[in-house]
Amino acid sequence: MFEKACKHSPVGVAAHRTFNLFAGRLVDINVYVTSFFLFDHRHSGERTVDKMSSHKTFRIKRFLAKKQKQNRPIPQWIRMKTGNKIRYNSKRRHWRRTKLGL
């Protein structure tokens, strides 16, 4: 799918000129994208990348367990040992913001 912005669109609405490949031919479709459309698309519950099966292989389970153990704050004695040069774990990961890439 190829997209480029249109010049003539209503105020507050982003218009995209989309070319779809349909039956071996490029078809020109003008698509008006509103903020509600974007909100609806983002919050529709459709996730393609981060679907996970309930039956995991041992290799995946071991990988997830390791990442879960790594995702913790540093112990306080390390702050004392390093003279407060290391204050926090810079590789902390939030489950929603940063994905593991499985």
SS3 65: helix
**Can you read off the two tokens belonging to residue 88?**
């926090």
**C-alpha Rg value of the chain to the nearest Å:** 23
The answer to whether residue 38 scores a pLDDT higher than 90 is no
Task: Please state, in angstroms and rounded to a whole number, the distance separating the CA atoms of residues 43 and 34.
Answer: 14
Across the range 74-86, mean pLDDT stands at 97
Q: Around Cβ 30, how many Cβ atoms within 10 Å? A: 11
Q: What is the per-residue pLDDT across 45-69, written as a single tens digit (0 to 9) for each?
A: 555 455 668 999 999 999 999 999 9
Lowest-confidence segment of 39-43, 56-60, 73-77, 92-96 by average pLDDT: 39-43
Average pLDDT of the chain to the nearest whole number: 77
Residue position matching structure tokens 């593991």: 100
Please state, for a pLDDT cut of 70, what percent of the chain lies above it: 49
**Per-residue confidence at 102, pLDDT binned at 50, 70, 90?**
confident
Per-residue pLDDT band for 86 (boundaries 50, 70, 90) equals very high
User: pTM score, two decimals?
Assistant: 0.48
